[in-house]
Amino acid sequence: MTNQNDGDDVSMNERADIVVAGLGPVGAVLACLLGQQGLNVIALERSHEVYPLPRAAHFDHEIMRVFQSIGIADEVLKHAEPAGPYEFRNAKGELLMDAQLGERGVSGWAASYMFNQPGVERALRARLAAMANVSVRLGQAFTGFAEAGDHVDVTATGEDGSRTVIEARYLVGCDGARSAVRDAMGVGLDDYQFDEPWLVVDTIPDDPESVPRVNLQICDPARPTTCVRMGPGRHRWEFMLLPGEDPDRALDPDFVETLLEPWNARVEIERRAVYRFHGLVAKQWRDGRLLLAGDAAHQTPPFAGQGMCSGIRDAVNLAWKLGEIFRNGAEDALLETYQAEREPCTRSYIELAIHMGRLVCSLDPEVAAQRDAAMLAAAAAGTEIPLPQPCGPGREHGVFVPGDSAAGTIFPQFVAGDSVRLDDAIGPGTWLIDRKGGADTPGLRHLATSDRELAPFREAIEAWLDEQEAQAVLVRPDRYVFGTGTAGELAERWQGMLGLAQPGGVFAE
């Protein structure tokens, strides 16, 4: 790696376990999760404010569980509401498909939420501000790095041009689609060749009754349009730009008014932007002490509402692996499983989004008529047009028990009553839940199903173990199942895969 930290007006007086470059939702979640584990983090963010233009409007149950683990679920719920139906309709208003978002998800929350991204980003930043071991540097941009054996020197440049070099064990680039970290690593992108220009308009309804109650994709070849809720008191429209339409002119208030007119909605326009929707994946997400996460590693068209969600899953995956390295002495090679686990899942969501996008974005009336006929016939027959199915983490080279059918699935967050949740009862870390119980081993929380804290969930957990015909389950800190079996086998395999010292016979049966 070439040294990019040349020049002499540099102060070198900082140290951190990890530098997070970029404090969008992904960098902020990563910094929170690392901070909660006691790691020393410096987070660089070149702007002072959260990103001002319209972006994510949807996240799923898994992400709500992450917000819960960070301690901001209540604050997030001020900016989010469970998602209603997601309907695809044609130009005549006929229902082509209802992409059911479901009710309660396996993660113990509603299956999906519609939300206002700046509100959630502010909640994340407020959480970070309360962590003494996380230093947030607003107005400081990542501008270069030099690898130096057991660490990496990261250069941060302030608005006045002053430079600081931070000596860190790892640098994670969470600096978005135009990632400077990715460029400095020299990593290229795989391109799905999807490239469509859309105008996005966020509004505040004066009259909430004047905007649709459901989320809509209007598959009208004259102007494909999206219309979705965005959490309490907000509503969004997205309009595909037609060939020849000038993106700058599309931002003109008169043009926006004309597009909104047919909706008869009484709204105030809050903000608007034109984007090109892409499908891109970085070829390499790790190079030694350098890592990429979120939009820096991949970008998707928004039709499945999963870009930020995928990035937050990256952050969760990296956070527990870095935690194991720093806190429990796991081998650095554990990070080799990061891209191996995350890329297949991310690609599956990008492919779903592109498939949905191609359904929506058709501008040829004949092609659109054929699509409508096929989708209406499928709906009449009680079936649906098959969509690519998103998959969980890649298991082949991941930290999972090979051949175990439960491995790589989400361990359910059981909820007792309305709001007593399993994760709150047990707390963070790796769980070894066993019908019998036993002593903890370093880095593993060993629980018996009869333990007091599990009492409200005992029946549900035992039913889950019955289904797997298992004695015990080892649940990773990201709440994916590592594997099932006996406690002894699981602990030994876990320690082996993480490169930890073998347990001293505590689990011998």
What is the contact surface with ligand FAD in residues (CB under 6 A)?
A: 21-27, 44-47, 51, 54-59, 141-142, 174-176, 180, 200, 275, 294-295, 302, 305-309, 311
Shortest spacing between CB 474 and ligand FAD, in angstroms: 29
Shortest spacing between CB 428 and ligand FAD, in angstroms: 22
Q: Which of 126, 24, 21, 138 is nearest to 70 (CA)?
A: 126
Local structure of residue 86 (DSSP, 8 states): E
* Cβ-based nearer residue to ligand FAD, 307 or 483: 307
Shortest spacing between CB 100 and ligand FAD, in angstroms: 17
CA 68/CA 423 separation, integer angstroms: 9
Shortest spacing between CB 180 and ligand FAD, in angstroms: 4
* Cβ-based nearer residue to ligand FAD, 231 or 503: 231
Shortest spacing between CB 77 and ligand FAD, in angstroms: 17
Shortest spacing between CB 305 and ligand FAD, in angstroms: 3
* Cβ-based nearer residue to ligand FAD, 86 or 464: 86
Shortest spacing between CB 238 and ligand FAD, in angstroms: 6
Chain position carrying tokens 């969509």: 387
* Cβ-based nearer residue to ligand FAD, 65 or 446: 65
* Cβ-based nearer residue to ligand FAD, 228 or 335: 228
Q: Which residues pair with 14 in a beta bridge?
A: 166
CA 117/CA 236 separation, integer angstroms: 12
Q: Which residues pair with 95 in a beta bridge?
A: 89
Q: Which residues pair with 59 in a beta bridge?
A: 113
CA 353/CA 351 separation, integer angstroms: 5
Residue 171 contacts residue 145 (beta carbons within 8 Å): yes
Residue 183 contacts residue 278 (beta carbons within 8 Å): no
Shortest spacing between CB 63 and ligand FAD, in angstroms: 8
CA 278/CA 51 separation, integer angstroms: 19
Q: Which of 218, 245, 189, 208 is nearest to 87 (CA)?
A: 218
* Cβ-based nearer residue to ligand FAD, 30 or 444: 30
Q: Which of 196, 278, 279 is nearest to 243 (CA)?
A: 196
Continuous segment of H or E residues that includes residue 507 = none
* Cβ-based nearer residue to ligand FAD, 3 or 47: 47
Structure tokens at 17: 């376990």
Shortest spacing between CB 426 and ligand FAD, in angstroms: 27
* Cβ-based nearer residue to ligand FAD, 46 or 395: 46
Q: Which of 455, 450, 465 is nearest to 417 (CA)?
A: 455
Structure tokens at 304: 């499945």
Residue 40 contacts residue 15 (beta carbons within 8 Å): yes
* Cβ-based nearer residue to ligand FAD, 338 or 414: 338
Chain position whose Cβ is nearest to ligand FAD? 24
Using DSSP's 3-state secondary structure scheme, residue 126 falls into helix
CA 415/CA 411 separation, integer angstroms: 13
